[in-house]
Structures are given as structure tokens and as C-alpha cells.
Amino acid sequence: MLEIPVFDWGGGWDGVAEAVWNGAGCAIVRGFPVDSEGARELYLETAGRLGRVVPQTVGGTLIYSVRDEGYSLERDFGKAGVRTSKTTSAFGFHTDSPSRMAGHTPDVLGLLVLQTARSGGESIFVDGRAVYRAMLAERPEFVERLCRPFAVDRRAELPEGAAPFLDVPVFALEPAFQVRYLRLYIEKGAELAGVSLTDFDREALDYFETVCERLAVRMELRRGDIQFLNNVTHLHGRTAYEDYPEPERKRNYLRIWVER
């Protein structure tokens, strides 16, 4: 079982970088002073130790609040800014910015925990390289399909004049291994492209998710934790959660994207 290393916020940064790039692909930094003055600036500085903090939206947002805002994906999908991160729904295995492999994708994802949910919201994490190796041994025909592109929806944050979808493979092997995945965006991308996912396509995607689930690590995060995730070779997700009714107690993680 993969063990996720835990570091104190006050030190050990060489160890954090090593864990993210060459180790487990994930590191927990514990004890960030979330109530301190200038905490957001300190968070930017902290994440900047791993690389350059990059925007997450067309508007240039550097710190993005992963917090329920009452959206329904079925009702609201396709509207600017409507993402699974703005709901209490479970979020299956994915990489951030999966439809932008031809442009910019973050190398590292940082999540600072301001508030946890009343129940649920467990973090899940899996090494995409291990998934690839398992699938290659068990169902190589599915790996071959996942190495060829799918049309992937990108309407949540679409630059003016850009195509509403991009052709992106799940597994890219050159110049180095990379995994890009978000199932909902693949389903919606096929609709936009005017194509239908075949039964074989769906079987390959379903098997991919089954292997992810089999190999996944689960973890509970606490207030003041920062979870740094390798967004190139690994996938992450979360379970559904129930929130507190009081607005100030709602589950709230602050997300940062870092480019190495």
C-alpha cells in the first residue's frame, strides 16, 4: 500500500518536493496557519516553493475556492465556471485541466483545507503509472484505445475564439508518461464533436476506472493541511459529502496550480 508522507509546515521542503516528483506523488504539509494575517499571500509563497503558481481561470484566478455553491451538474453544465468542485457530489478519478494538454496543464495541484465537511469528502488518489502497468498486463487492447485521443469538453473555462473541445488521449507516453482524464468531459466532448462513444470506448474507460479504484489510496484531511499532488502522472478525486448548514462552516479547500 502506498504511504503518503506527512511534513510539518515549518520545514522539510526538500522532502516535500522529492515526494511529489519522485516519490508517492503526494505530500501532506500539516499545520499551516490558516487564521494568520496574510494567510492567502503566505499560501501563494508556500506553493511557490514547488514552482510557478499559474492561473486557473480565464480571468487569472490564482487561488480557487473548492466549495459547494448550490450548482447541479445536470442542470448547469456548460455555464462558465460550473464545475464539479462547486457541488457536494462525489468527484471520480481525474486530473485537473484534462482538456488542455495541447496547451497549459498544471504540474502540481495544491489544496489548503480551511474547513472540512460534516461528513464525507474523503480524498482519493492513485498513481496513473501503476494503472497503466496493470491495464497493460490485463487488458492491453484497452490501453491501446486509451493512448488514442478522445474529444474532451473544455467549456467550463473557454478562452474567446477557442474550440469547445480538444482531442486528448488518456495515456500519453512521449516525451514522458502523462495521464489526462475526467470522464464527464469525455462524455460531453463526444456530444460536442458530434460523435458517439462506442461500446468498446466505454468498456475501456470503465475498466480504467475499475483499476483506479482497486489501486487507490484514501486519506482524511484536517483543517490546516495542504495536500500537494502530482498532476502529471497521478489522478485524484473525492467522495460525496454532507455539509454544515452554516455558511461559515461549509467545506472549503483553497486550490492552487503550480507549473514546475
Question: Which 3-state string (H, E, C) describes 127-186?
Answer: EHHHHHHHHHHHCHHHHHHHCCCEEEECHHHCCCCCCCEEEECCEECCCCCEECCCHHHH
pTM of the shown model: 0.91
pLDDT of 102:
42
Q: Which pLDDT belongs to residue 101? A: 44
- φ, ψ at 208 (rounded to 5°): -55, -45
Distance CA 260, CA 253 (A): 22
pLDDT tens for the 260 residues of the chain, in order: 678 999 998 876 789 999 999 999 999 999 999 999 999 999 999 999 999 999 887 778 899 999 887 765 555 555 544 456 677 788 899 999 876 644 568 999 999 999 999 999 999 999 999 999 999 999 999 999 999 999 998 876 666 778 888 899 999 999 999 999 999 899 999 999 999 999 999 999 999 999 999 999 999 999 999 999 999 999 999 999 999 999 899 999 999 999 98
Which pLDDT score is estimated for 2?
73
Every domain of the chain and the residues it spans: 6-259
* CATH level 3 topology of 6-259: Double-stranded beta-helix (3.60.130)
C-alpha cell at 99: 482538456
Rounded Cα gap, residues 89 and 72, in angstroms: 9
Q: What is the DSSP letter of 54?
A: E
* Single-letter residue type at 155: R
CA dihedral 86, 228, 117, 81 (to 10 degrees): -10
Helices (H), the chain: 13-22, 39-47, 73-76, 128-138, 140-146, 183-193, 199-215
Whether the CB-CB separation of 34 and 222 falls below 8 Å is answered with no
Pairing type for strands 108-115 and 226-230 reads antiparallel
**DSSP letter, residue 125:** E
User: Distances in Å between the alpha carbon of 58 and those of 43, 155, 156?
Assistant: 21, 11, 10
